[in-house]
Amino acid sequence: MLQAPYSSATASRTLIDSLIRFGLIALLSVFCFQIFKPFMNLLLWSVILAITMYPLQVRLRGKVFDGEGRTATLIIVLVIAVVMVPTYLLGIALIESVEHAMAIAKTGEFTIPPPPESVAGWPVIGQRVHDAWAMASTDAGGLIQKLGPQIKSASIGLLGAVGGVGVGLLVFVGALIIAGIIMAYGELGTRSAIQIASRLTGPERGPRITALCTATVRAVAQGVVGIAFIQMLLIGVAFIIKGVPGAGLLALAVLLLGIMQLPATLITVPVIVLVFAAEGASGTNVIFAIYVFIAGLSDNVLKPLLLGRGVDVPMPVILIGALGGMVTGGVIGLFIGPIVLAVGYQLFWQWVEDPPPRIEVETEPPRSVPDITGADITRG
């Protein structure tokens, strides 16, 4: 039976059908993304937390509870308690401090001593600090009226920052709860991730890409958050022993600076200067300054040890991904950046090491044809 030839009209109709299908798929994808967008950061944090805490669930599995769900619930409850209890105590301390300061301001019992003459000798800002301090010691009300607009704007900014911290804390607790649900179905989630990666990159590369992404998230959690937590402990204990005012808040600031990949010396150096200005250069203060300064630089030693551990990618790639992701995407980019850069690095080197196969062209052997004179002539 003869088939009709493939005409141009049939080709045009097939092309139109393909474009319509592509357009409908693109439209559906856009609608799905718009619906998912408000929850994207929450779900990304949940996945990151679940990947980070899942090894702990594997260790506790069967030792406390038999079920995956109960073990995950225990871990999430403990983590929420660890986060909420210090936050509650810090909030109570801040509220009490503000109430105490307001009570002193109403009674007028607060007096500011005059500045020492050595303050005027500080480089760059010494004279300004001395004049403002002297005015505050003699006429605090006038100084407050003079700095009223700056104090108002700073207060509004501080209230906004406190509100942002509160919202971020609620989002973090919600992400922990969702992470517990993900951890309860950890094995199913692992198989699903491998299937998706295999569908995108092939059955051979899929498991490797999945393992790389998992190891990268855990390495960043250990190498960034873990190092920041270690620095907070090292510096915070020294502040508490020395009796630095607001030692808890300063330690929390060290933790936040470490997560944001900023040096802890932004906190430690001013504290050292204030301690020397208030108490002088005694032996205890010198030891305190040396210890705190070294503790503030400890991340330079800990990062090469922890940041790239367990990842089949060089540590500078992870570090650059963390810094670049932090700049472009905030704290969530701190984890997304290294994953994207590590996967891109692996795919690039796989492409380099797997060159395309060579195509060999077969050549016919030379054959001879008779000449009109009867002699054989060989043709190439």
Q: Is the pLDDT of residue 380 over 50?
A: no
**What pLDDT, on the 0 to 100 scale, is given for residue 286?**
86
Average pLDDT of the residues in 112-120: 69
Tokens found for residue 262: 């900023």
Average model confidence (pLDDT) for the chain?
76
Residue 358 has pLDDT above 70, yes or no: no
Q: Is the pLDDT of residue 374 over 70?
A: no
Enumerate the domain spans of the chain: 38-184, 212-352
pLDDT of res. 1: 46
Residue of 112 and 278 predicted with greater confidence: 278
pLDDT tens digits for 35-79? 988 888 888 888 888 888 888 888 887 777 777 788 888 888 888
Please say if the pLDDT value at position 163 is more than 70.
no
Rg for the chain, CA atoms, rounded: 33
Residue 27's pLDDT is what? Answer: 94
Average pLDDT, stretch 183-188? 85
Give the mean pLDDT of 309-328: 76
Q: Which of 19-33, 48-62, 98-112, 295-309 has the highest mean pLDDT?
A: 19-33
In the prediction, which pLDDT does 97 show? Answer: 65
Question: What's residue 379's pLDDT?
Answer: 47
What band does 26 get if pLDDT is binned at 50, 70 and 90? Answer: very high
- Of 15-29, 123-137, 238-252, 326-340, least confident by mean pLDDT is 123-137
Q: Is 159 exposed, middle or buried (0-12, 13-18, 19+ CB in 10 A)?
A: exposed
The answer to whether 329 and 341 are in contact (CB under 8 A) is no
Q: Which pLDDT belongs to residue 230?
A: 85
Q: Where are the alpha helices (DSSP H) in the chain?
A: 8-36, 40-60, 68-107, 126-138, 140-146, 148-184, 186-201, 206-220, 227-242, 247-259, 265-279, 283-296, 299-306, 315-353
Contact between 100 and 94 (Cβ < 8 Å): no
Q: What is the pLDDT of residue 32?
A: 92
User: Pick the residue with more confidence: 196 or 142?
Assistant: 196
Percent of the chain with pLDDT over 70: 72
User: Band of the pLDDT at 25, cuts 50, 70, 90?
Assistant: very high
For Cα atoms 99, 145, 124, give the angle at the middle one, nearest 5 degrees.
100
DSSP for residue 371 = -
State residue 147's pLDDT score.
62
The answer to whether residues 298 and 311 touch, using CB atoms and an 8 Å cutoff, is no
Band of pLDDT at residue 373, cut at 50, 70 and 90: low
Among 22-36, 79-93, 96-110, the minimum mean pLDDT is found in: 96-110
Do 183 and 74 touch, CB atoms closer than 8 A?
A: no
